[in-house]
Amino acid sequence: MAARPGRSGKRLRLPRRQRSQALAEERTPGLYLRISVTDRCNLRCVYCLPEDARFASSRAGDDELMALARWVALAAGVRKIRLTGGEPTLNPRLADHVRHAKTLAPIVGLTTNGVLLGPLLPELRDAGLNRLNISLDALDGDSFRRFARRDGLDRVVAAIRSARRLGFDPVKVNAVAMDGTDYAGLVRFAAWEGVHLRFIELMAIGEARAFQADAYVSAEAMRLRIAAAGIALRERTDRDEPTSRVWSIDGHDPATCSVGFITTVSQPFCATCDRLRLSSQGKLFTCLMDNAGNDLLELLRSGDHDGLVARVRRAVANKAPPAEFVRHEVMASIGG
């Protein structure tokens, strides 16, 4: 596969000093907090939400969510915050959340479907956003509509390109692995656009509970499909991410584009998981498969800050791998 002329490795890369600073930040002690700033979504991805999805009738206010994030950071120590959802770009105060998160942690990321992202990018960058993951499951309009049950492919691709132009580096593209996924096409797209592709193994969560066993494709099977299309991947020995094994694409600078496999199902990373999730209802979850959660909002609203700190600390101390790898609610409710 030929590298895109004038793109790979040339522009928009962080200088070496900043890259090593970014790596040092990743290794800063502290937990990784993911905050769902809304449970609502403008897509209806078949593995996530039903067509007639019903969203919570009430949620924590934005100021309450920010206050909860601050208490969690105070109680548990946080090195990285990711804003997610639902679809976080539906929250009109997203930039305020980024600015606030930046006061709590050096790394602030966003996971978005990208449909509404393009026009927001300059403000989000100026607010301090320094990690960006954009979900994209398909590269042609019909397949996109089949996965997302809505249109939006052109706007997602335009947002990916704007993010690169604005200097976001790395830009990661997340694709949920399904039987009909165009694995090789997405790898070629990553190489061409200069982005880092992460395939996520399909989990038995939300809508996918009904068909996960049939539609599941393991990371190993994905690599075989990519190799069968004539693309050589090389595993990076400097495995740089706690949740995914990262491979470079033959002929391309691994700093510019790569492929990773988030092997939540075939090789769960529970033993090294340092993630906490704060839902848009103000509950703290210590595992994606935690079906109960810890209500923090009631304690915030009653002004019981000592109780709140104690509940966070107890939840963190009891963080453990799940008894059963199934989530009954949709991922959007907890923040994917």
Q: Is 191 in the site for ligand SAM (CB under 6 A)?
A: no
- Out of 46, 73, 79, 84, which residue is the one contacting ligand SAM (CB under 6 A)? 84
Q: Is 94 in the site for ligand SAM (CB under 6 A)?
A: no
Distance CA 215, CA 143 (A): 16
**Residue 56, SS3?**
coil
- Out of 3, 41, 124, 222, which residue is the one contacting ligand SAM (CB under 6 A)? 41
Q: Is 260 in the site for ligand SAM (CB under 6 A)?
A: no
Nearest to 39 by CA among 70, 85, 104: 85
Phi-psi region at 12: left, alpha or beta (left = phi > 0; alpha = psi -120 to 50):
left
Q: Is 91 in the site for ligand SAM (CB under 6 A)?
A: no
Q: Is 38 in the site for ligand SAM (CB under 6 A)?
A: no
- Out of 196, 233, 332, 333, which residue is the one contacting ligand SAM (CB under 6 A)? 332
What residues form DSSP beta bridges with 78? Answer: 31
The separation between the first and the last C-alpha atoms of the chain, rounded to the nearest angstrom, is 33
Supply the DSSP symbol for 14.
Answer: P
Alpha-helical runs (H) found in 151-218: 153-165, 183-193, 212-215
Q: Is 243 in the site for ligand SAM (CB under 6 A)?
A: no
Q: Is 187 in the site for ligand SAM (CB under 6 A)?
A: no
Minimum CB–partner distance for residue 187 and ligand SAM (Å): 17
What residues form DSSP beta bridges with 133? Answer: 111, 172
- Out of 176, 186, 231, 249, which residue is the one contacting ligand SAM (CB under 6 A)? 176
Supply the DSSP symbol for 50.
Answer: -
Catalog residues that contact ligand SAM under the rule CB under 6 A: 41, 47-48, 84-85, 87, 111-113, 135, 174, 176, 200, 202-203, 205-206, 208, 331-332, 336
